[in-house]
Amino acid sequence: MVEDDAKTNSRADAPASSHVDGSKLMSFAAEEDAPDENESVPAFDPPSSNRKSTIPSLPLVLAPLPLWKKKLHEKTHRATALVKESQDREAQARLMLKSMKVQAQRQLSRAHSEASLAIKIEANRETALAIKIESRRLIGLDVTDRMKDTPDPTEDDIKELSVLFNEQLAKHYAPDDRSFFKLFKEADLDGSHRISYVEVEKLARHALHISVKQLPPARLDMLWKAMDKDGSGFIDAGELSRFTKIGKPKTLTPVQLARLKLQAERDRQAAADRAAADKRQEMHTIKKQLQVEPASREELEQLSAMFSKALAKMKVGHVSVHKLFLNMDRKESGKVTIEEFRTACREDLHLSTNMLPEEKLWRLWRALDENENGFICAGEWGRFMRAHAPAGVDDGQVAATAPYARALQAHEVGRTRETELC
């Protein structure tokens, strides 16, 4: 028994591990409960049914557990608690590891996003800078800024540069190709209808073959300032034409003389054609107006009142009859045709066909054209407007401003003089 107690104490004092095997604990308990081989076990004597038991019936009293069993139970409970605690810690560690992984992934994603955003911002900044530089180049500000330090050319410098320009132009171009417009189209490489500084440099160096000795870079900048009068950073066709004319020889070439003669002949023919067209129009008007009856005095008064109301609606302020006549005379020929009169009625006075039908317009025209020459003059128009002058239209100004003053003043005396002036 002493050996058994020692064995039990040695087992009980053994350190419990954090992970205890349950099957080993059960086998250990079974070994402790098993009887020792040297210990005598009383034989079981089943009670006979024929004899009566002499043992009095006593209440069932459980014997106290041995000390080794108590220690075993305590160590088992402690081992189970340690196992559960270790499992809880392991679960917490897993959760913490998972949370740390998620947080690390978020931080990594945020770092990637920030890096990507920084790259995009830098790329956008570079793009914006490139666009700004290109836009300044397109609108000519880069050249304008660069030319601020270049001294302004004097009149002698401009003339000298223009003479050099024309000499090289006459030297390397045929007479028919020396026009500034052809030169401008040749210099306009990008087809933008304007010449940049680079295009002027190419024109001077390659097309006109002006060497660096003849035109140093400083003189080239001066040439640019002489051409670019408005400081826009570009040269248009008008600026190039004005610059080339400064140093152009005063004598005209045979080609230029021929062009001038041809242009004069074209202008003369165009004037003759316009005069013939006007004459045909007048004859057509005379023929058509003779087919209608002139407006009566009552109709003239009504139409004059209608014109007065239309003029009042226009709110033109204080005007003269002569100014109204000049407004109708769109061709500035000193007379008003039927087409000009119709345009003034429809567009300027806004008299629609309901207010002034075409038949009434022709009757009014027949009454206005007293001498039936196909047009009306200022005197005829003045008499019509004086019949019912609107507010704001000064009939007296006609005598002061119109060249037909005598015709208006001689209305009561006679119309002979007035007809001659018309």
Residue 191, phi-psi category: left (phi > 0), alpha (psi -120 to 50), beta (remainder):
left
| pLDDT at residue number 399 | 36
Q: Residue 320 — pLDDT band, cuts 50, 70, 90?
A: low
| pLDDT at residue number 99 | 92
| pLDDT at residue number 401 | 34
| pLDDT at residue number 57 | 59
Residue 403's contacts (CB-CB under 8 Å, 6 or more residues apart) are 378
Q: Residue 3 — pLDDT band, cuts 50, 70, 90?
A: very low
Closest C-alpha to 178, from 241, 260, 227: 241
Range with the lowest mean pLDDT among 65-79, 198-212, 246-260, 339-353?
246-260
DSSP 8-state symbol, 336: B
Each residue of 4-56: pLDDT tens digit? 444 444 444 444 444 444 444 444 444 444 444 444 444 445 554 455 555 55
In the predicted structure, residue 287 carries a pLDDT above the cut 50: yes
| pLDDT at residue number 55 | 55
Q: Residue 81 — pLDDT band, cuts 50, 70, 90?
A: very high
| pLDDT at residue number 93 | 94
- Averaged pLDDT score across all residues of the chain: 75
Q: Residue 92 — pLDDT band, cuts 50, 70, 90?
A: very high
Give 195's strand partners. Answer: 235
Range with the lowest mean pLDDT among 105-114, 146-155, 174-183, 266-275?
174-183
Give 376's strand partners. Answer: 336
Kindly state the tokens that stand for 9: 């104490």
In the predicted structure, residue 176 carries a pLDDT above the cut 90: no
Residue 192 sits at the vertex; the CA angle it makes with 191 and 195, to the nearest 5 degrees, is 95
Each residue of 249-263: pLDDT tens digit? 776 667 778 888 888
| pLDDT at residue number 58 | 54
| pLDDT at residue number 97 | 94
Kindly state the tokens that stand for 373: 């020459």
Q: Print the SS3 string covering 347-378.
A: HHCCCCCCCCCHHHHHHHHHHHCCCCCCCECH
SS3 state of residue 393: strand
Are the CB atoms for 294 and 367 separated by under 8 Å?
yes
Each residue of 125-172: pLDDT tens digit? 898 888 877 776 666 677 777 788 888 888 888 888 888 888 888 888
Average pLDDT over residues 379-389: 71
Q: pLDDT exceeding 90 applies to what percent of the chain?
A: 11
At position 60, the amino acid (one-letter code) is L
